Structure 1
Amino acid sequence: MESRVALLAEQLLLIERELRVLGWWQDEAPSAEALASQEPFCVDTLTFEQWLQWIFLPRMKQLLEAGAALPSVSGIQAMAEMVYQQQAGVARRLQELLGEFDQLITRTS
């Protein structure tokens, strides 16, 4: 059976792939100021897709690569559902992947 770390790393790649499929992956990073927002999910400076690409994915990859302690809970799917409530069909697969991430992060083994 694959380790939790390997499963999480694979899930992060699937999330990145889905962002690319949707055309929401950006080649150019937002400004340093936008990335430095203190608001949850940088809601005041970034779109949710930008937050996933430039904050969430890199941070989670760093934690996995460093063998650092991972968060014990994640509510990222709930945030995605709120953000995409007007376009649920378009973002359905992304929401599913984020939900799978939430499940993996709360798994203790």
Structure 2
Amino acid sequence: MTQYESLDTALTRLEAAMRAGDLWQSQTRPAPSDFESEQPFYADTMSLGQWLRFVLIPRLRGLMENDQPLPASANIASAAEIYLQDNRTSVRLPILEALRDVDNVLVNGELRPQQEGQ
């Protein structure tokens, strides 16, 4: 599996986890000025869910569609743990696992091995 195929799988898992936890549908589109943030994860203008849905996923998919190089480093899951700590475990854990997959694909070029039951 290529890095792009692995990333597509990881992003699909992330979207599915967000939908299952009702974090996809509940995100309102940020105002155009919200996209001008210089803070990591646009923390000063968006919720994590908004950033994932309207910034991270579209940007990574855009890079793949245009055959552009992917970022070589990522630490999204670690940061997301802080932002998601107040969410129910059943919502938080699948999203964090999907983000760990995204991180691993960007850093190592492949998905993490799946554990039984996943």
SS in 1 for 2:87: helix
Summarize deviations over 1:18-67 as a string: whole Å, max 9, x none: 11111111474111011222211110111001000000000000011111
Aligned residue in 2 for 1:24: 23
Q: Following superposition of structure 1 onto structure 2, how do residues 59-78 of structure 1 map, counting pairs within 5 Å?
A: 59-78=59-78
Percent of paired sites with the same residue: 27
CA distance in 2, matches of 1:28, 1:82: 21
Aligned residue in 1 for 2:98: 97
CA distance in 1, matches of 2:28, 2:49: 13
Give the gaps of 5 or more residues in structure 1: none
Cα pair distance change 1:67/1:88, threshold 3 Å: same
* TM-score (structure 1 length as normaliser): 0.89
Give the gaps of 5 or more residues in structure 2: 111-118
> CA contact under 8 A between 1:81 and 1:88: conserved in structure 2?
no
Deviation at 1:85, TM superposition (A): 2.5
CA distance in 2, matches of 1:14, 1:88: 18
The alignment yields a C-alpha RMSD, in angstroms, of: 1.7
* More helix by percentage: 1
CA distance in 1, matches of 2:109, 2:68: 15
Structure 1 segments of 4 or more deviating over 3 A?
Answer: none
Aligned residues: 108
SS in 1 for 2:38: coil
Which one has more relative contact order, counting CA pairs under 8 Å at least 6 apart? 2
